[in-house]
Chains A and B, each alone.
Chain A
Amino acid sequence: MAKVDSKYTPGTINNGIIPWTRSLARLLLFVPILASACKSSPVSNNGPRILQAGAPGQASRSLAPQEIRSIVQPTYHQADVDFMKGMIHHHNQALEMSSLISDRTASSELDDLGRRITISQEDEIAFMERWLADRGEVNPEEHMGHGSEHMPGMQMPGMLTPEEMSSLRNSNDEMFDRLFLEGMIKHHRGALIMVATLFNTSGAGLEPDIFQFAYHVDSDQYIEIERMLSMLEARR
């Protein structure tokens, strides 16, 4: 698998509210399966062993049944939550910028680009919203409506200022194309900074799902930047 799953299922549930209630009935169906699996756990010589591997050159160590319960996945970090909230806000501005394209450009190439950005960022926003909801984290945008201007105080790296958004909104044709490309390149570079910041934060970006999500944002936007740079070059 090369990409993030579009449905996140949490690695750890701290308060256990959301998925529990939704699938309690279903959950009960599977308890017997786990119970029977535990019964055949590593005790006898012929039964399955559960080993914890060691560092290179070190022996593996047999895990007792109660230790198996301690096999956890890394929990998420406050920086992960902040990253997701910030990225939703950041993505919403990209959607707002892309929504301006069709009325202001004559370029089908730019139109295509905008459509792609819209589809991918809407998908990623849906993923991030589920990620937050599954952890009982509040997504501030949901209460304020989408759109960067609802959160004037929150300026993520690379986001256009209200003045820049206004210039973009009030331009047309070649001027719009150029402002859009310059703005979106700046905007995407900001996303790369956000990923780099996440990965530079101790304890952050460890949970498997956020790792995969963040690195795909990184590689995808890197490629889009390259593409937009060549489009911009062709307009000079």
Chain B
Amino acid sequence: MTRSGYYKQLMRSSLSAILFAVTAITLAFPGNLQGQQNDPRRTIDARVGLAPGLHDAEEAISNLELISTTAKGPGFSPDLETETPYTGGYTNSDLAFKDNYSIVGNYQGFQVYNVEDPNNPTLQVSLVCPGGQGDVSVYGDLLFMSVQERRARLDCGTQGVADSISSERFRGVRIFDISDIRNPEQIAAVQTCRGSHTHTVVNDPQDDQNVYVYVSGTSSVRPSEELAGCSGLSPEEDPNTSYFRIEVIQVPLANPETARVVNAPRLFMDQESGDISGLHQGGDFGPGTQSSRQTNQCHDITVYPELGLAAGACSGNGILLDITDVVNPVRIDEVTDPGFAYWHSATFSNDGSKVIFTDEWGGGGAPRCRDTDPLEWGADAIFEVVGRKLLFAGYYKLTAPQTELENCVAHNGSIIPVPGRDIKVQAWYQGGLSVFDFTDPANAVEIAYFDRGPVYSEEMVSGGYWSTYWYNGHIYGAEIARGFDVFKLVPSEHLTQNEIDAAALIRMDEFNAQLQPKIEWPTDVVVARAYLDQLMRNNSIRADRAVAVSTALDRVGNATQSADMTTAATDLREVAGALEADSREPLPSGQDSDRLRMRSLAESIRNLASSLLQ
């Protein structure tokens, strides 16, 4: 469906749609709207009607296997002698990965799990250092953590900061040395005016002496008496206001303890007038549309250094940045969306041709996946990147309705590196996790899911997945209230074992979802088989050709002698040539997009042939 088609559909719900004209600031929303329940795009499946429970909720799962679930450790979960099982403040937040370790951020600090055996993650260390949100990233032996709350202390103490203005308070980005992962130590703490809600580690391909951190601060501005230079005034009152900017921290790798803010770029400036509040001013886009917040902050930024690009989810706008000069990012495009309340996060496709932006309508603490909530609100908006411009292509939202008891909206996810396809795994808080294919950005489709019933049966309490990310062959989930989960993909009509195995070929030493690496698949039979499976699924390859490809690939595995290898290589080149010829003819399915896939198959087969002859 086109953008205007979606829009018309939204408008057809007419009178009730006008009621939707709530502001982005709204935390909850009346569930009295008619006309949305019958949306044919909704799926009424096993996720509907799951029984509640903290650790015994009913579950629904499709094309995934939950291989382990690990409750939060002591100190990071309510003390049941003095607190209820639903006590807040022990929220699990974002995830980062290093080697065999998964690091789970928490409002109280962070926890490190050894996931060498993902069936049995073992908690290595819980580091107490409160301050929320506790989003974490790793770079080599350094770990970065976002801190925004007023209770947070420079010395990581749990007692809070008594004075309203205090040199003991810390709001900004902490840096830990994790060279001994069982003994992390804080080595630096970079203070910022709005604290750090999230942050993004950015490496500069031209600079191996430093790593950089983009800081997204979203909360109140500190008084200048506490941190010099901070200003909570409007741009008219003070051109040096701490609103309408991000901060850039430079971290010298030889002396990370000297990390400091080196720039605070005005990313929202109107280039002609010089007005630093040059983007969305807050408000809706006409009758029946969502009201987006004012763009005076970024909530999260995802960088892709190998492309020199970043996608910023910045409150009222999605923005595209040129980051070839890492310290001085430059805005090159901006978009708004009539369904978006709050631009929250971004994910590039591996080739950089698409960006998924998420909308955190309701802020993450509200039920926004009810059958009365529009499928274009609180959703993903998928954009194509054409000539360094963002072009809207389609929406994706969890289609299985959730209850009033479940906070649910689009949240964090990452790419699953299946060659030839764009696939993402994404967290939806208590909506569970959803794996979807957005190769065709106008028609994203779900291919796997997991969901639990509400955390609590009597009232909505905060829970569900904050982040679900793919790392070295598995999906890891940070569950706000319940702990840490690991999944593996199970083959289905949507995804074959070859495609899953090809994704698992990609091994990383570390991973932060906000720092996207360019993925290149090794020369491997399973990569070719993944492409072949895709062409067969789409009916885009002649049956005899498919057999010939499969037979030639079988020979690669069986070739042990050098003579066998020469024969196998010859067969491979022959079949690659045939595929290249096929790709210039009309395909059986008529799907032109599969011509490219067929050429990718031919190329991977030629690479295999070359590797045999080496």
The answer to the question of B22 belonging to the interface, with a C-beta cut-off of 8 Å to chain A, is yes
Of A85-93, A116-124, A142-150, A178-186, the one with at least 4 CB within 8 A of chain B? A116-124
A77 and B219 alpha carbons, distance in the complex (Å):
21
| A2 touching B299, Cβ below 8 Å | yes
Interface residues of B in 351-378 (CB under 8 A from A): 360, 362-366
Q: Does B102 reach chain A (CB closer than 8 Å)? A: no
Q: Is the CB of B158 within 8 A of A71?
A: yes
- CB of A27 within 8 Å of the partner chain: yes
Tell whether A71 pairs with B128 under 8 Å between CB atoms, given A1-B91, A26-B85, A30-B55: yes
Task: Check: B84 CB closer than 8 A to any chain A CB.
Answer: yes
Query: Within residues 82 to 119 of chain B, which ones have a CB less than 8 A from any CB in chain A?
Result: 82-89, 91, 93, 107-109
Contact A6 B407 (CB under 8 A): yes
B126 near A50 (CB under 8 angstroms)? Answer: yes
A56 touches B186 (CB 8 A): yes
Question: B142 to nearest A CB, angstroms?
Answer: 13
Closest to B461 in A: A7
Q: How far is the CB of B189 from chain A (nearest CB, A)?
A: 5
- Check A69–B79 contact: CB distance below 8 A: yes
Residue on A nearest B56 in the bound complex, by CB: A29
CB of B154 within 8 A of CB of A223, answer no
Q: Is B187 an interface residue (CB 8 A)?
A: yes
Interface string of A45-86 (1 = CB under 8 A from B): 000111111111111100101001111111000000000000
Mask of B415-431 contacts with A, CB within 8 angstroms, 1/0? 00000000000000000
Identify whether the interface residues of B are mostly helix, strand, loop, or mixed: loop
Does B124 touch A at the CB level, under 8 Å?
yes
- List the A side residues contacting B64 at CB < 8 Å: none
* B62 interface residue per 8 A CB criterion: no
Count contacts on B: residues with CB < 8 A to the other chain.
Answer: 98
Bound form: Cα–Cα A132–B93 in Å: 26
Asked if A13 is an interface residue, CB under 8 A from chain B, the answer is yes
Which residues does chain A contribute within 8 Å of B89, judged by CB atoms?
11, 73, 207-209
Residues of A within 8 A of B130 (CB): 73
The reply to whether A223 and B25 contact each other, CB–CB distance below 8 Å, is yes
B30 within 8 A of A: yes
- Within the complex, the shortest CB–CB distance from B188 to chain A, in Å, comes to 5
Q: How far is the CA of A236 from the CA of B184 in the complex (A)?
A: 60
Residue A37, interface by CB 8 Å: yes
Set of chain A residues within 8 Å of B133, measured between Cβ atoms: 1
Interface centre among B88, B162, B163, B188, by most chain A C-beta atoms within 10 angstroms, is B88
- Complex interface: chain B residues within 8 A of A234 (CB): none
| B206 lies within 8 A of chain A by Cβ | no
- A-B CB pair tally, cutoff 8 Å: 269
Asked if B21 and A112 sit within 8 Å, CB to CB, the answer is yes
Kindly list chain A residues whose C-beta atoms are within 8 Å of the C-beta of B342: 2
A126 at the interface (CB under 8 A from B): yes
Known contacts: A5-B462, A58-B155, A69-B79. The answer to whether A48 contacts B123 by CB under 8 A is yes
A174 lies within 8 A of chain B by Cβ: no
With an 8 A cutoff between CB atoms, is A169 at the interface? no
B282 touches A226 (CB 8 A): yes
B373 smallest CB distance to A (angstroms) = 14
Nearest CB of chain B from residue A23's CB, rounded to whole Å: 6
Min CB distance, B359 to chain A, in Å? Answer: 11
Q: Mark A117-138, 1 if CB is under 8 A from B, else 0.
A: 0011001101100000000000
**Interface segment, B70-78, B382-390, B600-608?**
B70-78
Smallest CB separation, B438 vs chain A (Å): 24
Q: Are A211 and B88 closer than 8 Å at their CB atoms? A: no
**Cβ-defined partner of B151 (8 Å) among A2, A13, A119, A207:** A207
- Are B23 and A74 in touch, CB under 8 angstroms? no
- Supposing A51-B128, A199-B220 touch, asked if A224 and B149 sit within 8 A by C-beta, the answer is no
Kindly provide the distance from the CB of B158 to the nearest chain A CB, expressed in whole angstroms. Answer: 5
Residues on B with beta carbons closer than 8 Å to the beta carbon of A126: 28
Return the chain B residue nearest A49 by Cβ. Answer: B125
Beta-carbon contact of A9 and B86 below 8 Å: yes
| Pairwise interchain contact B132-A208, C-beta atoms closer than 8 A | yes
Q: Which of A5, A41, A69 contacts B407 (CB 8 A)?
A: A5
B462 nearest CB neighbor, chain A only: A5
Contacting pair A2 B344 (CB below 8 A): yes
Q: Is the CB of A120 within 8 A of B27?
A: yes
- Give the residues in chain A near B276, CB-CB below 8 Å: none
Contact string, B161-196, partner A, CB cutoff 8 A, digits 1/0? 111100000000001100000111111110000000
> Given that A9-B88, A226-B282 are known contacts, is A206 also in contact with B150, CB under 8 Å in the complex?
yes
Residue of A nearest to B18 (CB): A112
- Chain B residues, CB < 8 A from A205: 150
Cα A23 to Cα B83 in complex, Å, equals 11
Given contacts A16-B82, A27-B85, contact A211 B363 (CB under 8 A): no
B459 within 8 A of A: yes
Q: Within 8 Å of chain A (Cβ to Cβ): is B230?
A: no
* Complex Cα gap A68–B79 (Å): 9
Minimum distance in angstroms from A135 CB to a CB of chain B: 12
Q: Which of B421-462 contact A (CB under 8 A)?
A: 458-462
B156 and A6: CB pair below 8 A?
A: no
Q: Is B218 an interface residue (CB 8 A)?
A: yes
Interface residues of A (CB under 8 A from B): 1-13, 16, 19-20, 22-23, 26-27, 29-31, 33-34, 37-38, 41, 48-60, 63, 65, 68-74, 112, 115-116, 119-120, 123-124, 126-127, 195, 199-209, 211-212, 214-216, 218-220, 223-224, 226-227, 230
Question: What 5 A-B pairs have minimum CB-CB distances, sorted nearest first?
Answer: A3-B363, A74-B160, A1-B364, A220-B25, A53-B156
B residues with a Cβ closer than 8 A to A are 19, 21-23, 25-30, 54-56, 71, 73-75, 77, 79-89, 91, 93, 107-109, 122-130, 132-133, 149-151, 154-156, 158-164, 175-176, 182-189, 197, 218-220, 234, 257, 281-284, 291, 293-294, 299, 342, 344, 360, 362-366, 407, 458-462, 466, 480
> What are 24 of the A-B contact pairs (CB < 8 Å)?
A1-B360, A1-B363, A3-B362, A3-B363, A4-B363, A9-B84, A10-B87, A11-B88, A13-B83, A34-B80, A37-B77, A48-B126, A55-B186, A56-B257, A58-B185, A68-B74, A73-B151, A112-B21, A202-B163, A205-B150, A207-B89, A216-B363, A226-B234, A227-B281
